[in-house]
Amino acid sequence: MVSEVLDALQIKNGGRYIDATLGGATHSIEMLKNLGPNGRLISFDVDPLALTNARSKQKDFGNRWQIVESNFRNIEQVANESGLGPFDGILFDLGISSDQLADESKGISFQIDGPLDMRLGPNANQDGLTAATIVNRWSEKELTRLFRVYGEEKRATSIAKAIVARRRQKKFETTFDLAGLIAEKSSQTATKARIHPATKVFQALRIAVNDELESLKVALQGARKILAPNGVIVVISFHSLEDRIVKQTFKSFKDFTVSKKPILPTENEIKINPRARSAKLRVAHKNAIQNQNLCPEPTLLL
């Protein structure tokens, strides 16, 4: 949704912007092309491969592009330390990139065998938590809640029970270990479903390992504080948990004008990139006259 992102950001020549989710750098580079020689962009990521890839292209843009290895929950701190604020626009693209899914060392995909890790980078969390730690140590009750709340998995109880029973015999070490068990325990109806039976469990584990939802809440509050009057926050989410947080948080921003409905991908984009079918783009504009004290921390119920 590159064109939709650029339209929503309304990039100004010489402006100050943040790409909170660098990924493959597609959005960052397009933003830089529109910023002009005096514009500035800060891009965040915790994935070493994404950072290395972007830095190989950084020379084309000189000091206009600052690339930071940091979780976007630190957006307010990094932005303030940069001395570039306030910012005219901030982008969050919350999707997992194809490169990350294909990286067997991360263990994010159930279609590629790799270590059951799921951290997006070595600094993705502060305690070294991995998916293997969760499935091998958490109680059946904790696993059930995780799969039900973060994965919206209807079979959470039976899957958690099967995991606990299996690990008594042998610990889970790889993605195929876990995906194979879930597929084996799934009903005939579930295995014929549109998505792989392990999809929601893997989503839940990845969210927990990277603390994605809490980081998003913190980052959105930070983005509000560092945004200039008339600035804009643009968020692309890919599942209902993220979208609910974005929608509720934007609604709590009393000094903002928020788009009532999300922008959806076109049919042509979905044909080119089927993973885009679940994308929702939401936009919030900061009003010219604002009072930072008008916005309380939102209560988000998941």
Same-domain pairing of 17 and 28: yes
User: Does 232 reside within a domain?
Assistant: yes
In this prediction, residues 73-80 reach a mean pLDDT of 97
Q: What is the CATH number of the domain that holds 189?
A: 1.10.150.170
Does pTM surpass 0.85? yes
Give the model's pLDDT for residue 187: 61
Same-domain pairing of 145 and 271: no
User: Does 300 reside within a domain?
Assistant: no
Give the model's pLDDT for residue 300: 42
The string of pLDDT tens digits covering residues 118-136 is: 999 988 887 889 999 999 9
Same-domain pairing of 8 and 94: yes
Q: Domain of 194?
A: 126-209
- Domain end position, chosen among 193, 209, 225: 209
Overall domain count for the chain? 2
User: Does 250 reside within a domain?
Assistant: yes
- Contact status, residue 146 vs residue 138, Cβ threshold 8 Å: yes
The string of pLDDT tens digits covering residues 146-175 is: 999 999 999 999 999 999 999 999 999 999
Same-domain pairing of 158 and 235: no
Predicted confidence band of residue 66 (pLDDT cuts 50, 70, 90): very high
Q: Say yes or no to pLDDT of 184 above 70.
A: yes
Q: Say yes or no to pLDDT of 102 above 70.
A: yes
Same-domain pairing of 222 and 91: yes
Q: Average pLDDT over the chain, rounded to whole? A: 91
Predicted confidence band of residue 78 (pLDDT cuts 50, 70, 90): very high
Same-domain pairing of 36 and 166: no
